Structure formats: structure tokens, C-alpha cells
Structure 1
Amino acid sequence: MGNNLLSIDWDYFISLDNKNCVSTIENKKTVNDLWYKRYFQFKSEGKDLQKRYQLSEEADKFWGKMKKIFEFDSHVHIFVSDSHALSYKIAQMYNCDNVYLFDAHSDLGYGGLPSLEFELNCANWLGKLLKNKKVKEAHIIYGPYTAEKPENFQQMNELYHIEYPTINDLDEKTKISAIHICRSGAWTPPWLDGKFIEFIRKIGFSYTMTECLKRNWDPTALTYADQLQYLMT
């Protein structure tokens, strides 16, 4: 049957205030600084940014479901990063034929087929895997809060083998060769990072973490000068 990659984006579980954002830029500014900027902008309007994001209860039950649907053991290779673009390299590394993606976004590329000509990034890695014939099939399982629909990617759906199943549609006991869990810090708020670490640990197996900036979220500890600095970024 070939090797299979299970790729999970943390934003699958989060109601995203910026769910329609498809920026491909991931750096300290978008992952950390802009969250403070948004927080203080909302605060100046008498609003609480943190109340605009909710974590689905599915996060607590997720690994139990995955271990019933998929087949993997303590020897499975597990990677954790901030950027989802790493899935492209992992799929190549383990010669994967299929990708099972749990995400609020398809990561097929935004802007039609021309977006697959852009450099590899968090928004097009899955589309580029298909275009470059690195994998044969993509199975995209959308999160409960997604704003996307399969018909948004009609051109790619016609060219490549792409399916959009629900969890209940998935075949049981599909063997998983590697797992990638990404935080997508530009889309997921830093005050949920503790829950993210809990989520990773609940898998019960060892993992390798790479390029995942630690975010210390504490806006109350910032001076007025700090607040102004963030607002000016």
C-alpha cells in the first residue's frame, strides 16, 4: 500500500478569528509580535482578544480516535515544528505515497495552480507534493471551524487525487510511517501553547521538536513603552 504521513495542524482544533488569513509568511513578527499588537489593539477598544478563540473539545479525544483508525506504534517517527512546510520534507524522507492531513486549511496553495510555482511554504506544501509527484494521494480532513470548502480547489481536485473525508470515512488500520504535528504560530494564539504541549504529550511516544519558537505570553508584564512598541510593529 505504500507509506503514509499523518500530518496535523494545531489550528484544526481552534476557532480562528483570522481563519480567512492565508499569509505564507512565518517569522518572529507573525508568530509572536503581531499577537501582542492585536491584543493591545482590541484592548484599546474595550475587547478581549483571548475570548475570540476557542479550543475544540476534540483535542482531548484526538489521539484515542487516531489509534483506533490508524496503525502506529512507539517506533513511529514523530516530528513537531511551527511551520507546516516541514511536512513536504518528511513525506520525501519516508517515501510516502499518501498524506492524511488534519487542518483548518488545505495547504494545496491559494490562488489556483500558479501558487504551486511559488517557493515551498506553509500554504502550498501539499499542493507541491502532488504537483511534483512526490505523493500519489492527499486526504484532507477539515477541522470543525474551517471556512474552506473542497470546491475552492476545483482545478487541483481535477488534476490530482484529492479526497475530503470525515473521520468516520477513514479506513481503519492504515499503517502510518511518520507523524508531523505543527503549531502554525502565525494562526494559533500563544496563550494556547500550553495546551499544544499537552496535546503532543498525549500521544504517549517520543518526538523530535524543531524550529518551534517558545512563546512566553504575559501582556500584563509589559510596560507602556513595550505596548507602544508592539502597536508600532
Structure 2
Amino acid sequence: MNFLVVDWDFFFPTPTAGGPVGDHASLYAWPVAEDATHVEAIWLRRIRAFRATGVPLPRVSGFEGFWDRFRIAPDATVFYADSNAWASQIFPTNLGAEGPWEAVHLYDAHHDCGYAPNHRSFEDWQRRGPISAENWLLGHYWNGSQVFVHFPPWRESMKRPTERPLIPVSMVIDDGQALDVTFNAVYVCRSGAWVPPWCDGDFSAFLAACPAKPVEVPQNQWNHPRPDVRRMAELEERLKAGEGRRGSV
């Protein structure tokens, strides 16, 4: 049995994850954390920076037709939530089977196999934990699964950023080819701290296009779609412009 995991930021090019470095890379220097501030509130501050600079808002791309190259079992389930951390709890037992996944294939802008300095080694993580969005694949590796990471095609090089996962893992830049694997379960992560709310409509369409039964992870906590920060920013600008006209009278 095999498990397919897709992080929505796979389709959202950023310089910090290895995408092309343009003239406005500083706009993407985003601190991230999986809390309400970084998933929702902080995007209004970020959109202000884009609008002030006159740079078009970044969008997701390349997700259309993504599912077509995967062989997904007719009785498979697609689980979804905002954080990839919940993928650590999806095992064959969720489907009434036993044992580990034979393989876990992750399509993601990040490898999620643990990062220093949070943990010095896999053994250090085994001793101290916890499981999080940045290390959830360690749990499947510990359980005996083979682990594969497919980085997005917009990533320019495997050397930037330099990846140092805590476990042996196959890491490649996705070439768009089909895998000779049948997937028995799918997990889709919205990554709201990484991907902006103006892409939420595209995420809904992507999730609906997956040829499997959608099931929201029970512990998932999110607003979807999130508040429209584009309208908020436009309203702020109109209010400021109105105040400026009144002040000049």
C-alpha cells in the first residue's frame, strides 16, 4: 500500500524555497508559523507590501491536470487539512489494513524530514519529538516506509536551498512523469502559512479534482476560504484616499 501527500505550496513558487530570485525577492521573506496569525492575519500586511511596490500578487500555477498522471485506487480516500502535520497520523490502519505504507511520496516545496537546529539527528528527534509539519515524514520512516520527496519543477537547483534531512530520503525535482505506483490514500495540505488566501479558490478546485473521496481530518482547524485580504487592502486604500481629500479641503 502506498501513500501520496501533496502540499499546496508545491504550486506556489517562492525564492526562499528555491524558485527564481527576481527583483522583489524581499517581498517573500516571510516568517512562517502554523498559527492563526500566520495562516490568516499576517496576509493583510503582506498584501500591503505587494500593492505598495506595484508588484502583481503571486499566484499558484501548474496544478491543473496534476492528478491525471497518478494511479489512485478506486476505493482510496483523500484526507485534507491545513497542516501537513496530520499526514503523520494516516496509516494503512485508517483503511482497515495492517503494517506500514510501502512508500510515501511527498510533492512539496519542502522535504519535511526534519531540520537543524531543531533536532541534531533522527535519534535526537526519536528521543524528544514532537511530530510537526516540518518533520512528520520521520514518523513514517520510523514505521518502516520508504520515503520519497518530489520538489516542484520551478525549483532551479537541488543546491539552493541546501537540503540536510535527518533521514536517508530520495529527493528529486519533479519531471512531470507518472509513477509506477498505485496509491491507496491521498493527503492534501493547504499550507495556509505559506500560500496566501487569494489562492484558496484554486485550492478548493484542486481538492475537488482529486479522484478520491474527500475527508477532512477531524482535528483540522481552519477557515476556508479565508477572509479576502484583497478587498480589505482595497478598502483601506479607499478610506485613506478619502481622508486625504477631506484633509486638503
Task: Place the TM-score, normalised by the shorter chain, in its bin.
Answer: 0.7 to 0.9
- Unaligned runs of 5+ residues in structure 2 are 19-28, 95-99, 241-249
Alpha-carbon spacing, 1:89–1:16, altered in 2? closer, same or farther (3 Å):
same
How many pairs align? Answer: 211
Counterpart of 1:107? 112
Counterpart of 1:220? 231
1:93-121 per-residue CA deviation (whole Å, 9 max, x = no partner) reads 44323110001110111216527344211
> Does structure 1 residue 39 correspond to structure 2 residue 47?
yes
Contact 2:72 2:184 in 1 (8 A): no
Q: Which has the larger radius of gyration?
A: 2
- Which deviates the most, 215-224 or 4-13? 215-224
Offset of 1:72 from its aligned partner?
1.6
Task: Report the TM-score, using the length of structure 1 for normalisation.
Answer: 0.76
- Percent identity of the aligned residues? 22
Matches within 5 A, 1:150-189: 152-154=162-164, 156=166, 159-160=167-168, 162-165=169-172, 166-167=174-175, 171-172=179-180, 174-189=181-196
Alpha-carbon spacing, 1:92–1:119, altered in 2? closer, same or farther (3 Å):
farther
Offset of 1:155 from its aligned partner?
6.2
> Does structure 1 residue 134 correspond to structure 2 residue 138?
no
Counterpart of 2:68? 64
| Secondary structure class of the residue paired with 2:149 | strand
Task: Report the TM-score, using the length of structure 2 for normalisation.
Answer: 0.72
CA distance in 2, matches of 1:89, 1:201: 22
- Unaligned runs of 5+ residues in structure 1 are 229-233
Offset of 1:47 from its aligned partner?
2.8
Contact 1:97 1:134 in 2 (8 A): no
Alpha-carbon spacing, 1:169–1:124, altered in 2? closer, same or farther (3 Å):
same
CA RMSD of aligned residues (A): 3.1
> Does structure 1 residue 195 correspond to structure 2 residue 202?
yes
Question: Which structure: greater helix fraction?
Answer: 1
1:115-147 per-residue CA deviation (whole Å, 9 max, x = no partner) reads 7344211111113432xx213311111112347
